[in-house]
Structure 1
């Protein structure tokens, strides 16, 4: 293959990639806010004893966990406007789709963490005369969140990587800008290699943090 590498073709046009990275970070942060808050609510609904509450929440979780994220993104982008006459920007649609996807996975993480909350904590809340809402907000939520942090961070890394899928609906994220730059410069190898390294540079430190938290929790439990 007669192909000579020219990284300069990418580094000289790095501005659009930085702009795309900023969009990717915005998508990831917004989706994580939705996922962290809504995920806990979904966990409580899934654990409800009332079937009319539990069944729809469980169906929500299973739908988003068992269908590809790219299908969810495309569905929100094309079907929501047609079915509900709701027209939002591509960026907003991407945030909603990624946020709901993350909420489903975080919901399962929270559910497992809530079930791991020691019974003594719940009994203490009753002894203190706390209402169910107060017990949930001040005892169950903080404890479950602390237990679920490694999984929540891992899910956050996954959603950062999956945010590249919004390029298919023309959201100008890092992947979209990379495709545009590769087409313009005819340098796909250099462009996508550098973009892969950017994704790695962001994800790797967080994955190491997750490993450190898990080791610390294991030592504490031991």
Structure 2
């Protein structure tokens, strides 16, 4: 191979700008996924079929279709079907946020099912109504138990956010593609982009591993 590497030809400025957009996408999607995932999990566990089945269909749709299809569908189909025109950034946040919401709902549901029945019974004995039992007993336990999975899902969304580049959101991947075209240095450009994704993802994965090991020690 006669290729001569020249990493100095790649300007970090556009990539940093793209990283900021990527982080904004990730944070917004995680807010949607973490906050709305819990009530969705409660709907999934409802004994009323007319409530449970739509929630189940929602979750299965996002779990069983590719994220890139969901992003493209929101960007092109929502304006045509509902006459709603939002910016590409907003569409990207909605697509990623709802995707994460579906996966987090499953994490919450597993955590809710692991809440000791004795604690719920204690809440009943104290006279707490169903909402209070969920808010003061179920939610804290479920949130604490599901933190490793929520963090893992969050970093997956950070990585999947690269897909929004196809709908012209100027994230890290979009800037990398543009820079690679302008400089004719795709190897260097995408290598640096990959290292940036790795630099953000790796510390979070280490935190997740530490939390899981700590949880195993506490439960053993």
The answer to whether the superposition gives a TM-score over 0.5 is yes
How far the C-alpha of 1:207 sits from its partner, in A, is 0.3
Query: Equivalents in 1 of 2:39, 2:178: separation in Å?
Result: 39
Structure 2: gaps of 5 or more residues: none
How is 1:1-222 mapped onto 2 (pairs within 5 angstroms)?
Answer: 1-10=1-10, 13-222=11-220
Instruction: State the distance in 1 between where 2:2 and 2:168 align.
Output: 32
For 1:64 and 1:44, locate their aligned partners in 2 and report how far apart those are by CA, in whole Å.
17
Does the residue aligned with 2:2 lie in a helix, a strand or coil? coil
Q: What is the rounded CA distance, in whole Å, between the counterparts of 1:188 and 1:73 in structure 2?
A: 25
Pairwise CA RMSD of aligned residues? 0.5
Q: Secondary structure at the match of 1:48?
A: coil
CA offsets per residue over residues 49-100 of structure 1, 9 Å max, x none?
A: 0000000000000000000000000000000000000000000000000000
1:180 CA drift (Å): 0.2
Task: Return structure 1 stretches of 4+ with deviation > 2 angstroms.
Answer: none
Q: Residue 216 of structure 1: CA displacement?
A: 0.3
Instruction: Work out the number of aligned pairs and report it.
Output: 220
SS of residue matched to 1:62: helix
TM-score (norm 2): 0.99
- State the secondary structure of the residue aligned to 1:87: coil
**Structure 1: gaps (5+ residues):** none
User: What is the TM-score with the length of structure 1 in the denominator?
Assistant: 0.98
Counterpart CA distance in 1 for 2:12 and 2:199 is 16
Distance 2:119 2:30 in 1: 28
